[in-house]
Structures are given as structure tokens and as C-alpha cells.
């Protein structure tokens, strides 16, 4: 399968996906890493793997629809079978999710439907939950919504800060996302449930 990965920052999830494809775990090939930020650290990491990259800077467009149309054009050029949003910090228009939603995944750092949106670890600490984690889901027009394909659970510790909790969740993201993408690329049904509790 031809896999495109969209990033906005360090791309640590993208790295794990590319590594697993190159190791033959995921039956796929990375055909594009696209960032909306020119300074995304993940771009250099993708280039080190020899993966084609492109930057489409959202600031260069008059509105969300125009940006999304440019991203669609870049995706049309590589004909992806699967699109993985990985730390991609843009809200996509319904037109875009209608165009690509049949083959687009996202990883969100909470146990959805809990804690949608930003600052999920702060939300979890404020809510006083005992467990937290991350979710891989299919992308729909509704933010952080859509069918859940896998989740990983971590404990919340008494002395946790946003940073220590985020780090514990990120470690699980790096296990969960490749595991889910392996199943998708193998056309295997069913969810992935991981636990570090
Ligand atoms: C991280 O906070 C992660 O939880 C979320 O996106 C952010 C950046 O991830 N999925 P990455 O290192 O760019 O993959």
C-alpha cells in the first residue's frame, strides 16, 4: 500500500511508521511526508529515510478550503492508498474529509471520546482520571471523532505533570500507530488494544 503521512512538528510518529514499513512490518511504502510547517523537524527525518517530502504552508492561502485543495493536489500526485495524520495540527474541511476520509487515519493523545481537542494531558490531570492513553481513529468531518481502530492505556501517576504524562502516552503512540497501520495494510479487521497499566 502507498502511504502518505502528514505532520506539523517533530514527526516521531511518522518515523515509527516509516521504520516499520522499511522493516517489512507494515506492508506499505511511504510515498510522501507532507508538512504544513516549513520548520517541522520531521521533514529532515523523512529526507534521511529517502522519503519524498513537501511543505504546504497554510499561511500562504486565503482560507482553509484553499489550503486543503493544495494538500489534496499534492496527495493526488502520489495516489496514496492510506493517509496517516501524525501530529498534523490542522483542522480539515468537510470537503477534504469527504474526499479522503475513506483512507485517512489520525492518532490523538487521549482515550477518545474523552478529552477531544488540544492539551489532552492537561485535561486528563484536571479531570483526575486514573488511566489515560491514545487513540487511532478514522478521520471524519467531526474533530477527533470517527470509528476507533485502536487504543493504548497508561496509568496516571500521583506526581505526574503534563510533560511526564505526555511522554508516557507518546511511548504508547509509537507502538499503537504501527500496530494499527499493519492491520490496515494487511486488510485485517478488528481493533488493537494495548496496555501499559
Ligand atoms: C504529540 O503530542 C502526539 O501526542 C500527537 O502529536 C504530537 C506530535 O507528535 N499525536 P509527533 O512527534 O510529531 O509525531
> Per-residue pLDDT tens for 83-96?
999 999 999 999 99
CB contact at 8 A, 84 and 6 = yes
Q: Rounded CA gap, 56 and 105, in Å? A: 20
Please state the atom number of ligand 1 nearest to the C-alpha of residue 169: 4
Q: What average pLDDT does this structure show over 162-180?
A: 98
Note every long-range contact of 62-71, with CB atoms under 8 Å and residues 24 or more positions apart, other chains counting. Answer: 64/91, 64/93, 65/93, 65/95, 67/36, 68/92, 68/93, 68/95, 68/96, 71/6, 71/34, 71/36, 71/96
Check if 137 is active-site: no
Q: Whose CA is nearest to atom 10 of ligand 1?
A: 87
- Catalytic one of 58, 108, 119, 121: 108
What separation in Å is there between the alpha carbon of 87 and the centre of ligand 1?
4
Q: How confident is the model at residue 74 (pLDDT cuts 50, 70, 90)?
A: very high
Whether the pTM exceeds 0.80: the reply is yes
Q: Rounded CA gap, 16 and 19, in Å? A: 5
Question: What percentage of the chain carries pLDDT values higher than 70?
Answer: 100
pLDDT computed for residue 47 by the predictor = 98
pLDDT digits (tens, 9 = 90+) for 80-139: 999 999 999 999 999 999 999 999 999 999 999 999 999 999 999 999 999 999 999 999
178 Cβ below 6 A of ligand 1 = no
Mean pLDDT of the chain: 98
Q: Which of 14, 34, 46, 87 to mutate to test the pocket of ligand 1 (most atoms within 8 A of CB)?
A: 87
pLDDT computed for residue 100 by the predictor = 98
Does the complex come out with an ipTM higher than 0.90? Answer: yes
Q: Rounded CA gap, 122 and 128, in Å? A: 10
Amino acid at each position: 500500500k502507498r502511504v502518505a503521512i502528514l505532520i506539523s512538528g517533530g514527526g516521531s510518529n511518522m518515523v515509527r511508521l516509516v521504520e516499520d514499513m522499511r522493516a517489512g512490518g507494515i506492508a506499505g511504502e511511504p510515498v510522501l511526508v507532507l508538512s504544513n510547517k516549513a520548520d517541522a523537524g520531521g521533514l529532515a527525518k523523512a529526507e534521511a529515510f529517502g522519503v519524498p517530502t513537501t511543505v504546504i504552508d497554510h499561511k500562504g492561502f486565503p482560507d482553509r478550503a484553499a489550503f486543503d485543495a493544495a494538500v489534496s493536489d499534492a496527495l493526488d500526485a502520489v495516489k496514496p492508498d492510506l493517509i496517516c495524520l501524525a501530529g498534523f495540527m490542522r483542522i480539515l474541511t468537510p470537503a477534504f474529509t469527504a474526499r479522503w476520509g475513506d483512507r485517512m487515519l489520525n492518532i490523538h493523545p487521549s482515550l477518545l471520546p474523552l478529552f477531544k481537542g488540544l492539551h489532552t494531558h492537561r485535561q486528563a490531570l484536571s479531570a483526575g482520571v486514573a488511566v489515560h492513553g491514545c487513540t487511532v481513529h478514522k478521520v471524519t468531518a467531526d474533530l477527533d471523532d470517527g470509528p476507533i481502530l485502536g487504543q493504548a492505556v497508561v496509568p496516571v501517576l500521583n506526581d505526574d505533570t503534563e510533560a511526564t504524562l505526555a511522554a508516557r502516552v507518546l511511548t504508547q503512540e509509537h507502538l499503537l500507530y504501527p500496530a494499527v497501520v499493519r492491520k490496515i495494510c494487511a486488510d485485517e479487521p478488528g481493533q488493537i488494544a494495548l496496555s501499559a497499566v
